[in-house]
Each structure stands twice: as structure tokens, then as C-alpha cells.
Amino acid sequence: MTRIHRFADLEPLSRAAARALLEDMQSRLAVQDRYTLALAGGGTPQRLYELLATEAEGPLPWEQLHLFWGDERYVPPTDPRSNHRLVQRTLLSDAPCPAAHVHPIPTDRTPPAAAAAAYEHTLRRFFADRGATFDTVLLGLGADAHTASLFPETPALGQSDDWVRVVEAPPRHEVSPRITCALPVLNGARRALVLVAGAHKREALRAVLDDQDPSCPGTHIAPRTRADWYVDHAARPTA
Ligand code: 6PG
């Protein structure tokens, strides 16, 4: 099931996404003892992370919450382009999150394939089947309709047997080697929250949501129960 939620701009979008996440955590933790959340990189989710960190929409269940990443740039965690650093800075810096509950993609392994293999080992420790993974996966959408680090040029989007892949991002993207969860692992999530904001995303969003263009990786976001698209008016001027 796909549902589209439109907001005037990034602030109400982020607040609504925070509320939706917290509500889902509360309902799931009534019937299970942990909650697994895969985080997105880029700029759009930063405000959401800040809101979660300040518990503006309510407290997070830090003792039951495990954090993963959907993808990572192959740079040190101190690099300003690192998704791990982004989350560390906006969500985790003052949070009472047990260190053992934070599962970043280890970009200190060489070559990149070793980092992917190490992350696959981490995921296999938590999930017996790549078809049933995270409670929620947070995703963004690039202006070229990429999601995580799955680009229109990425081969074998859905066919690969890997859990985690090394992807050479196209030259237009600042960091070429990327480590990304494969599409079946992302879609193994029970639900997806896809955050898209800005007029520069309008065409990509139309190609994905209206045209279901198969050449767009965003079109293949299909988690097990539901995908909620949180979009602003700039990215989607009409419902
Ligand atoms: C990354 C993200 C990537 C991101 C999109 C949108 O590592 O950059 O995982 O998939 O979600 O590129 O990025 P913005 O939110 O910055 O537009």
C-alpha cells in the first residue's frame, strides 16, 4: 500500500514523520521487544533527526531501538559527507542510545567490498531472512529518482542475491564508492517512510508516483506492508 502525505514545507513534513515513527514504535513495542530502524542520508531527513533528538514529538524508546543505515558513502565517519556523521551530529550526540544499538556501515574496512561483507554479517545477525528486515526504513529520493545508493545506472536492482552492495555512484554525485543495502533488503522492511522535499525533486517524484517509471529506483520501493511518502508542496504541487 502506498500513501502520499503532502505538507506546506519541510517543517510540518518532518514533524508529521516524527509523530508517525513514534506512534509506530509504540504500537510495535507493545508486541515485540525491539524496534529496528534503517536511516537515510542526505539533507532531507536532518530536521526529522533533530526533532527526534529533542523528543519534540515525544520520547524515543532508546533501550529497545536499534539503528541501521540504508546506505553510506565510502568515506571515514569523520568526513562531512558521511551519513553516519550526519546521524551522530543531528540525532545521537546527546541521546541516551546504547552504543551497541547503533549499527553503522563500517567504512574503515578496505576494500569497499569488505565493508559491504561486514555489514551483511551485521544484518544477518539481526534478520534471518533478507525479505523480513527492518521495522521501518527511512528513504529519500534524488532528483534522478535514486533512493539509498541505488541509482538508475545501478545494474540488477532487484535481482542481486547480495544483502549489501558496493555501488559506483554516477559522476554527478559527490562520492563515488557507496555501500548500500540491496533493494530486497530495503523492501524487507515492514514499512517505508520516504521523505521528499523541494521543487528540484518534482520530476523524479512524478516519474515514480504517477508514471511508475521502472527505470527509476524510487519506483521499486515496495516494503512488506506500506510505503508512506511525505512530500512537500514544492515537490508535489497538486495531490
Ligand atoms: C545519501 C542518501 C540518498 C538521499 C538522496 C536525497 O546517501 O545521499 O541515502 O539516497 O536520500 O540523495 O538526498 P537529499 O535529502 O539531500 O535530497
Averaged pLDDT for residues 213-225: 97
Give the C-alpha separation, 14 to 10, whole Å.
6
Cβ 82 under 6 angstroms from ligand 1: no
> How many other CB atoms are found less than 10 A from the CB of residue 103?
19
pLDDT band at 157 (very low <50, low <70, confident <90, very high): confident
Is it the case that residue 120 has pLDDT exceeding 90? yes
3's grid cell = 500513501
Averaged pLDDT for residues 148-168: 89
Is it the case that residue 160 has pLDDT exceeding 80? no
Predicted pLDDT of residue 154: 87
Give the domain 2-232 fold.
Rossmann fold (3.40.50)
Output the pTM of the full model.
Answer: 0.97
Give the C-alpha separation, 65 to 54, whole Å.
16
Give the C-alpha separation, 143 to 214, whole Å.
15
Averaged pLDDT for residues 112-129: 96
pLDDT band at 155 (very low <50, low <70, confident <90, very high): confident
Q: How far is the CA of 1 from the centre of ligand 1 (A)?
A: 23
Give the C-alpha separation, 112 to 166, whole Å.
7
Best CA proximity match to 52, nearest among 95, 82, 85:
95
User: Cis ω on the peptide bond leading into residue 96 (within 30° of 0)?
Assistant: no
Mean pLDDT for all residues in the chain: 96
Cβ 148 under 6 angstroms from ligand 1: yes
Cβ 179 under 6 angstroms from ligand 1: no
Averaged pLDDT for residues 90-115: 96
Buried b (16+ CB within 10 A) or exposed e, 9-39: ebeebbbbbbebbbebbeebbeeeeebbbbb
For residue 169, is it left (φ>0), alpha (ψ between -120 and 50) or beta?
beta
Strand blocks (E) in the chain: 2-7, 35-39, 65-69, 71-73, 102-103, 136-140, 164-168, 177-181, 191-196, 226-232
Predicted pLDDT of residue 44: 98
Buried b (16+ CB within 10 A) or exposed e, 166-177: bbebeeeeeeeb
Cβ 218 under 6 angstroms from ligand 1: no
Averaged pLDDT for residues 28-46: 97
Predicted pLDDT of residue 135: 98
Element (H or E) spanning 52, and its range?
helix 46-53
Residue ID of nearest Cα to ligand 1 atom 5: 142
Predicted pLDDT of residue 56: 84
Is it the case that residue 22 has pLDDT exceeding 80? yes
Residue whose C-alpha cell reads 523524479 in the numeric block: 204
pLDDT band at 60 (very low <50, low <70, confident <90, very high): very high
Domain spans of the chain, in order of start = 2-232
Is it the case that residue 224 has pLDDT exceeding 80? yes
Residue pLDDT, tens place only, 167-200:
999 998 988 899 999 999 999 999 999 999 999 9
Residue whose C-alpha cell reads 527492518 in the numeric block: 134
